[in-house]
Amino acid sequence: MLKLSTKRFGEMEIPEESVVSVLGGIIGFPDLIRYVLIQRPHDAPFYWLQCLDDPTLALVLVNPVLFKEDYSPTLPNGLREELGAEEGEITLFAIVTIPAGRPQDMTANLLGPLAMNPKTRKARQLVLDDRLYGHRHPIIPA
């Protein structure tokens, strides 16, 4: 077990097998590669991507299909091999931005999703070249 003291969740014990390796890091945090995915409550649509290398960093994630049903970007060649994934094993998450005091204005980055293989616990943030999606897509319709 890994022991961690986080800003948001306090003291935590993380099973080593639950560590997610984000290959290449997250944009803006290239050297931070070890994370854990937390869902609280366990049936909530949002997840926390808690960094193990910097316990002050935790990002909010959501499955983009929950608010954009037709979200189906073309994944880069070689991604499945890099993540050790079989067909259909890659899960996409969008990083959420929640403006202070205005949760109704939260947006999701559909251009930079996090692709993860839940079996191998390997992930990579993608940078899509797709004009169908934006980096500030509203989660709650106006």
CATH of the domain at 127: 2.30.290.10
Stretch 95-103: mean pLDDT: 93
Q: Which two tokens stand for residue 5?
A: 């003291």
Confidence (pLDDT) at 1: 87
Q: Say how far apart CA 23 and CA 116 lie, in whole Å.
A: 10
Residue 124 in contact with residue 115, Cβ under 8 Å? yes
Confidence (pLDDT) at 61: 97
Confidence (pLDDT) at 130: 79
- Looking at the structure of the chain, the number of domains it has is 1
Its domain, for residue 92, covers 2-138
Q: Say how far apart CA 21 and CA 82 lie, in whole Å.
A: 12
Confidence (pLDDT) at 24: 96
pLDDT at 59 over 80: yes
pLDDT at 42 over 80: no
The per-residue pLDDT for range 8-30, each reduced to its tens digit, is 888 989 899 999 999 999 999 99
